[in-house]
Amino acid sequence: MRAAVFHKPGKPLTIEEVDDPTPKSGQVVIAVRRCGICGTDLHATEEHDGLLVPGTVMGHEFAGEIVEVGANCASDWKPGRKVTGLPSHSCGDCLPCKTGKPLQCANNIIVGLQRAGGFAEYMTLDTHNSVLLPDSIDWVEGALIEPLAVGLHAVNMSKDIRGKRVLILGAGPVGLAVSFWCRFMGAFHITVTEPETLRRESATQFGADFGLSAGIPAEVMPEIVRAAGGPPDVVFECVGVPGMIAEAVEYSSQNGEIIVVGFCARPDTLVPAAAMMKELVVRFVVAYDKADFDMIAGLMARDKLDVTHMCTGTVGFDTFSEAFESLRTPNDHCKIMLNPGGA
Ligand SMILES: [Zn+2]
Ligand SMILES: [Zn+2]
């Protein structure tokens, strides 16, 4: 089968013939129909990281069709069924696995980073970490469940978003998904700050009331207060670079809440007194549970979510590597997807 293979930082992914996967017990093989490119993929291929082993096939935002079923799979896992899944290969027996939190399994292996993912014609999935999709969900929707789940999980981790003034720092796919769910869950007013014009403008399509270019908090704050009627009760940090948590503290109202969603693997500094004087609650969150996937699939099946505009480009293998590299520089894309069958 064809797959996009990582070799080393600085070298674009190459499209190669690799072995077809075979399913082990409790696994299925899917023909990948769509797989989104994520910021995590871009970061993982950069010099400083080192998590990726040469020869890895990435891709963790996938949807596809079952083509082969391994031993010991329940009877509803059969060829032709649509499926997506958490990008986890885990034991299936421990408490986190049994309760749909495979990322907390001591033996979790990340699919698409530490094990072959969806930038390929076929991939294997553990059925216990996967979700069967109704036929009414299309491939683009199916591949958007993972990035939407990141936002849903973050919003669910807030104490209560209803009636709140919300500020979201960053309008990348994560910030946009957070905005979407804040609206869905009943936030009163949503402001998004984002330096890229087209991304900022697209925030209103994701439920935001107001988009602002990012700037120095002292200058931006009066505009937020004017638009929202007061300082933000809840600030979602969706950028993930050092300095952003301190900025979120500056923006937050007295007794406010900060949810840190932007993934940052570098040291960061913060003046605790600034957060103490406001008696803030700061919560760090990551990824999602299986329940987030189930909820989104359920809403999509009932046509309750209008999200396909999140996908702003589809490419086949012929232009995939080029498209992947193009996302390293500022751009106005929300989500580009691979269609292994051709764009
Ligand atoms: Zn991702
Ligand atoms: Zn486990």
Cα-based distances in Å from 256 to 58, 151, 282 = 38, 19, 9
| Per-residue pLDDT band at 48 (split at 50, 70, 90) | low
Q: Is the pLDDT of residue 187 over 90?
A: yes
Lowest mean pLDDT among 53-62, 111-120, 208-217: 208-217
Given a cut of 70, whether residue 10 has pLDDT beyond it is: yes
Coil, strand or helix at 300 = helix
Facing residues of 131 across strands? 84
Q: Residues 112-165: pLDDT tens digits?
A: 999 999 999 999 999 999 999 999 999 999 999 999 999 999 999 999 999 999
Q: Which two tokens stand for residue 40?
A: 């995590």
CA–centroid distance, 332 to ligand 1, in Å, is 17
In this prediction the pTM is 0.94
* pLDDT score of 89: 97
What's the CATH number of domain 158-284, 3.40.50.720, 3.30.70.20, 2.40.110.10, 3.30.1310.10?
Answer: 3.40.50.720
pLDDT at 129: 96
pLDDT at 343 over 80: no
Fold classification of 2-148+288-338 is: Quinone Oxidoreductase; Chain A, domain 1 (3.90.180)
Average pLDDT over residues 35-42: 94
Q: Which pLDDT band, with edges at 50, 70 and 90, does 199 fall under?
A: confident
Report the separation in Å between the CA atom of 39 and the middle of ligand 1, taken as the mean of its atom positions: 6
Residues whose Cβ atom is located within 5 A of ion ligand 1 = 38, 40
Query: 72 C-alpha vs ligand 2 centroid, how far in Å?
Result: 17
Cα(105) to centroid of ligand 2, in Å?
4
Q: How high is the pLDDT of residue 214? A: 83
- The predicted pLDDT at position 250 comes to 97
On the question of pLDDT at 241 being above 70, the answer is: yes
pLDDT of residue 124: 98
Token pair belonging to 231 = 């300082």
Characterize the bridge pairing of strands 82-85 and 88-89. unpaired
**Dist CA 19 CA 25 (whole Å):** 19
How remote is the CA of residue 250 from the centroid of ligand 1, in Å? 28
For residue 49, name the pLDDT band (cuts at 50, 70, 90): low
Does 47 or 136 have the greater pLDDT score?
136
> Residues 332, 313: contact at Cβ < 8 Å?
no
Nearest residue to 37 via CA among 122, 146, 115, 134:
146
Pairing of strands 27-36, 189-193: unpaired
Q: Over the stretch 256-278, which tens digit does the pLDDT of each residue have?
A: 999 999 998 889 999 999 999 99
The chain-wide mean pLDDT, for the chain, equals 95
Residue 193's pLDDT is 96
Residue 327 makes CB contacts below 8 A (sequence gap 6+) with 37, 42, 333, 336
Q: Considering Cα of 247, then 250, then 252, then 255, what sign does the dihedral take?
A: positive
**What separation in Å is there between the alpha carbon of 60 and the centre of ligand 1?**
6
DSSP 182-212: HHHTT-SEEEEE-SSHHHHHHGGGGT-SEEE
Domain ranges of the chain: 2-148+288-338, 158-284
Q: Which chain residues have CB less than 5 Å from ligand 2, an ion?
A: 90-91, 94, 97, 105
Q: Tell me, what's the pLDDT at 38?
A: 94
